[in-house]
Amino acid sequence: MSAQPSEPAVSPPTPLSAPSRRTFIATTSAAGGVIAASGLVAGQSLLGVEEATAAEASPSSRVSLTVNGKRHTITVDNRTSLLDLLREHLGLIGSKKGCNAGACGACTVLVDGRRVNSCLTLAVRLDGAEVTTVEGLAKGDELHPLQQAFIDQDAFQCGYCTPGQIVSGVGCIQEGHTGSADEIREWMSGNICRCGCYVKIVRAVEQASGRK
Q: What is the DSSP string of 36-84?
A: HHHHHHHHHHHHHHHHHHHHHH--EEEEEEEETTEEEEEEEETT-BHHH
Q: Give yes or no for residue 198 having a pLDDT over 60.
A: yes
For the chain, what's the residue count?
A: 212
Q: Give yes or no for residue 8 having a pLDDT over 70.
A: no
CA 190, CA 119: separation in Å to the nearest integer?
A: 14
Provide the percentage of residues in the chain whose pLDDT is more than 90.
Answer: 72
pTM over 0.85, yes/no: no
Q: Give yes or no for residue 4 having a pLDDT over 90.
A: no
Structure-model confidence comparison of residues 15 and 78, the more confident one: 78
Give SS3 for 131.
strand
Structure-model confidence comparison of residues 141 and 19, the more confident one: 141
Q: What tens digit of pLDDT does each residue of 115-142 get?
A: 999 999 999 999 999 999 999 999 999 9
- The pLDDT assigned to 58 comes to 83
Task: Please report, for residues 98, 129, 137, 138, 148, the alpha-carbon distance to residue 142 in angstroms, rounded to integers and kept in the order given.
Answer: 28, 25, 9, 6, 9
